[in-house]
Amino acid sequence: MKKILVTGGAGYIGSHTVVALQQAGYQPVIVDNFSNSEESALAGIESILGVKVPTYRIDCGNEAALRGVFEAEKDIKGVIHFAAYKAVGESVAKPLAYFQNNVGSLLTLLAVMPDFGVENLVFSSSCTVYGIPDALPVTEATPTKPASSPYGRTKQMCEEIVHDVSAAPTNKLRTILLRYFNPIGAHESAKIGELPLGVPNNLVPYITQTAAGIREKLTINGSDYETPDGTNVRDYIHVVDLAKAHIVAVQRLLDRKASESVETFNVGTGHGNSVLEVVQAFEKASGQKLNYSIGPRRPGDVPAIYADATKAAQVLGFKTETSLVDSLASSWKWQQTLK
């Protein structure tokens, strides 16, 4: 079994990817500092897989500790790098922490990997790199625009760092940059899912917590955008579908099929849904009415963005399988286990 190091492997997308890796015949190895994840994710992974996944409780920005993992595991074939802070609002309040953590951990990883002959990297990027796009849907060739937050800027900077490192004459690194759209949902077993700390920033956990009675009501952040119903449009992708994109990407790197040292793919469904449509789909999925009202716009929100998913389909053979309603049903099932 080929070993794949998964930084942030106890997190939301990381935990689903660890499960998918093991099920696809790889040996995942988790590195996580548990700053925004919980032990219970490991128990959930073990319960789904029936085996314990080797886990190192270290900060991936700690070079000595990270070297220790590569030494101990010896034959790591590739890295999927999730470990990063991800809250847009928090990044505005604590920009330095975001640059140190998100950029710093990538730099550490890139410094350590070649010393152990590890040449394959899948990096967690985001549709946030497109800023406010001029035209929809966005393709990988859509020019990036100024990011609306320091969080978004860290993703843009990390992409540029990967390109510069790869352009060096002695470089052997091969990277696939995956630009995720909005991940939602949970594993069908409801043993792993999203675990937001405190009041959720993201739409779907806010919806499920409202339905569960933890929050009084959802406030929709503006209904006066130039979109069909006035609310923001996003591309919501089921986290298990998203996890599968990583398996295909890793396989492509290991098979040496990548056509360039850095390849970039949008990972979305190719469909945009408004906030109101998500609310309606949730009501259908859960069979209950959601308490919500319309509030002001949220600063920094992009009016509308969704993926052109053609490149991932043609080059990676990757297509999403889960509908919005089914994705939300899995979020609701997961929420009910948390009560």
Catalytic positions, written as ranges: 151
Contact between 218 and 206 under an 8 Å Cβ cutoff? The reply is yes
User: Cβ 30 to ligand UD1, closest distance in Å?
Assistant: 21
User: Residue 110: enclosing H or E segment and its boundaries?
Assistant: helix 104-112
Residue of 1, 164, 180, 2 whose CA lies nearest to 81: 180
User: Cβ 339 to ligand UD1, closest distance in Å?
Assistant: 20
The 174-180 sheet, strands edge to edge: 55-56, 27-31, 3-7, 76-81, 120-126, 174-180, 262-267
- C-beta atoms surrounding 92 within 10 Å: 15
User: Cβ 167 to ligand UD1, closest distance in Å?
Assistant: 26
Cα gap 335→339, rounded to integer Å = 7
Residue whose CB is less far from ligand UD1, 148 or 323:
148
Site residues (CB under 6 A) for ligand UD1?
Answer: 86-88, 126-128, 148, 152, 182, 201-203, 206, 218-221, 232, 234, 275, 298, 301-302
Cα gap 305→167, rounded to integer Å = 30
Helix axes 63-73, 104-112, angle to 10 degrees: 40
User: Cβ 232 to ligand UD1, closest distance in Å?
Assistant: 3
Residue whose CB is less far from ligand UD1, 139 or 219:
219
Bridge-based pairing state of the strands 233-234 and 273-274 = antiparallel
Residue whose CB is less far from ligand UD1, 102 or 175:
102
Cα gap 314→48, rounded to integer Å = 31
User: Cβ 303 to ligand UD1, closest distance in Å?
Assistant: 9
Residue whose CB is less far from ligand UD1, 87 or 113:
87
Residue of 88, 331, 281 whose CA lies nearest to 201: 88
Residue whose CB is less far from ligand UD1, 56 or 85:
85
Specify whether the backbone of 184 is left (phi greater than 0), alpha (psi in -120 to 50) or beta: beta
